[in-house]
Structures are given as C-alpha cells and as structure tokens.
Amino acid sequence: MAQFDLTRINCQFLDRHLTFPLLEFLCGKEIYDQKELLEYILETVNKTNMIDYTMDTRKRLGLCQDMPEELVQRKEEVLATLKQLQNEVAPIMKATDILKNGESMKDSKTFVNALQKDYNFKVEHLESAYKLAKYLYECGNYQESTSYLYFCMIVMSPNDKNYLNVLWGKLAAEILTLNWNTALEDLTHLREYIDNANFTTLQALQQRTWLIHWSVLVFFNHPKGRDLIIEMFLYKQLYLNAIQTMCPHIMRYLATAVIINRGRRNALKDLIKVIQQESYTYRDPITEFLECLYVNFDFEGARLKLHECQTVILNDFFIVACLNEFVEDARLMIFETFCRIHQCITISMLADKLNMNPVEAECWIVNLIRNARLNAKIDSKLGHVVMGTQPLSPYQQLVEKIDSLSMRSEHLAGLIERKSKQKNQESVDSWKYYSS
C-alpha cells in the first residue's frame, strides 16, 4: 500500500525531530526496504546533535559496533558546547523554578520584574536561554528544553525576532514528550499568533500549512481533538483554504475525524462537499468510502473501500490508533444509510455489506438495539431486520443549520475584511503617488 502512504509528504511539513517517530513506525511495516529506511534515518539524525541515536542507527545498519573516532570527537564537542551554554545561563537558572511556584508568576510583567529585582536579569541572558533551549532540543533532551522555551516565551516580547521560533519549538518539544494538554495550549497560542501576525499572504499560507500538519499529531492524541480538528480544518475558512491549496492529502485525517466522531455527523454534508471539490487533486480509500456511501449510494463499493481503509489506517502513523473505532463507526454509517433506503433487510445481506459473517452481524445489530442506538426489531426465524421510523430530531436540525450559518458568516466576515484591507492599501498607495 505504498501508493497511499503519506509519510514522505507529511515529513516535508514537519520538524526534523518530529519525523523520527514516523520513520521508526515505518520500520515496523513492510512498505519500504528496511535498509533504505534506516539509511535515511541515519542521514537525517546526522544533522542533529543526537549522537547516541546516530550510533544506535549505525548498529542497526550493521556498520560497526564501536563508536567511530569522528563520533567520539563530535560527542565531546557537543558536551563542551552544552556546558558552555549552561554556564552562560547559570545566573538565571534558579529563576526558572519561579515558574513552578503558582500562577501569579506566569504573568509576563510580574515575572520580568522579579527577574530584574532578584536575579539581575539582562537581555543577554535571554539570548543565552534561547540558544540553550535550541541546543538541548537538537540533542534530543526535549523535556529540559521545554523549561527554557517556556522561560523565553514568558519573557520575550511578541515582537522579538526569535519569538515565533520559540512558539514552534515549544509545540514540537511538548509533542515529542507526549504532553498533549500543554501541546494543545501551545497549538492554540501559535495559531492565534499566526492569524494576527503581519505576514504576507504567502508567508501566512506557509505557516498555516505547517501548523495543520503539526496539529494532526495533537488532535488525534487529545480527548478534545476530534472536535477541534473538524472546527479548525473544516470550519475555519483560512485553514480550509490552506488545505485545498497546499495539502489536500490532509482530507484523509479530516474525513477520519468525522467518521469516528458520532457527535459530529452534521459535518458530513460539508465534508463531502469539500471532498468532491478536491477529488481531482486527492483521493484515497477513506475519502472514496464516503463518496461511495453518500454520493453514489454504492454499498458494494463502500464495502470494498472499507476493506482498503483498514490497510491504509494500519500503515498511517497519525491514525493507526483509531483503527478499531474507525471500522466500527464506518460499519454503522453503512448500516444507517442502508436502513434509510430499506425498511426490511435480511441479516445475510447486511453481513455481506458490513464485511461480517451472519452470526457476527446479528450480534452487532442486537447490541445496537440494546444500547438504544437503533430503532429496529429482529425476526430470527426469517433472518430479517425490520426498521422503525427514525425521524431527525428538531434539535439536530437546528444544530446543523447553526453550524452551516456560522461557517457562511465567518467566510463572509473574512471576505469583507480582506476587501477592506485591500481598499485601504489602494488608498494609501494612491496618496503616496499623488504626494510624490
């Protein structure tokens, strides 16, 4: 299934360190040649200061068991540089403990005042802290790096030339240490900064494209992520535009989030509209599954695509943990759609559509009825499922209309804002022309 593997594309929009978990994941699969993959990991890790990881990769390639003299010398240089940077920030190292002593010190002005008063803080110390944080990160010491990055984030002005780098570094370090709650906070902070910064159109598009890829790592590992990914990718027009322009392959992850999120079935209509618009640039079994089911009403095609979806998800680092949930919810979607068309269905036919044997299918339907998720009765003698009426609740209809209006309103507001900015810019340019 190498044709559906997105690792090569996704890695283009990820920090070098964020690619290592993806590449190591692929090593456990049989998609690519193991030796070529390890050689690429070695080439990538050589660009960092992770000497032990470099040596470990060399051993896996069978190059040598002892550390080469070149690596020994490089390790000594890394340790020496690290010690030097730690000495430079020594005057304020104790100050980082203040951040752990309650929320009052998390206010930027309060913290800076305490630094200047108690630790004789200078601007040079901030630059040293930034360099140390970056160096620790390059060495793979992400946990310690987050402390200095947080220090820089609190003390730095948003106008500082390194502030954006700190935000990106902090998010990456939190992802790599699996601190998903903090990572989500950093993701929100970074998104707000990007949305409000004075970037050119191209720069903003590039920043959002990178953020979209990094956010997938957070969203599929955070309890609230399945709602947030839909809100950001589908209903934030600027990010939807970025996906359609730069990375339509992200539709895979958006589609997966909608499928496994039973509480957001109202997003299906909008999602399918986008999938159809982008079908000429990107298609995979997951997007095609939704097209077969909700556009073509091709249940046989949906069944076949669901089988392919399992292979795709099993080999995708971002969504592999959702495999069982995806299959369960995809089967439920096939079942619900099929039941809207037929009132009386044979269990054997349903089993065929759901890639299950008749006994499993009957047990699965019984559980749905038992959990009050299905209004139906089973006739065991005839082997039929008789459907009851399932009207859409007024509440659900209202939610769908509100979501649709919200998306349109946000789109119109953004359009008006862009038109206004363009008009103001033209007025300024015109004034400059006449004044000159």
Query: What would the pLDDT profile of 216-233 be if each residue is shown by its tens digit?
Result: 999 999 999 999 999 999
Residue type present at position 233 = F
Residue 399: Cβ-neighbour burial (10 angstroms; 0-12, 13-18, 19+): middle
Q: Is 337 helix (H, G, I), strand (E, B) or coil?
A: helix
**Which residues of the chain have a pLDDT value below 50?**
100-105, 433-434
What global pTM score does this model have? 0.83
The rounded distance, in Å, linking the Cα atoms of 126 and 135 is 14
| CATH node for 341-385 | 1.10.10.10
- Contact, 326 vs 260, CB < 8 A? yes
Q: 297's torsion region: left (phi>0), alpha (psi -120 to 50) or beta?
A: left
The rounded distance, in Å, linking the Cα atoms of 215 and 180 is 11
Residue 94: Cβ-neighbour burial (10 angstroms; 0-12, 13-18, 19+): exposed
Residue 334 CB: number of other CB atoms within 10 A?
21
To 5 degrees, how large is the angle CA 224–CA 354–CA 329?
5
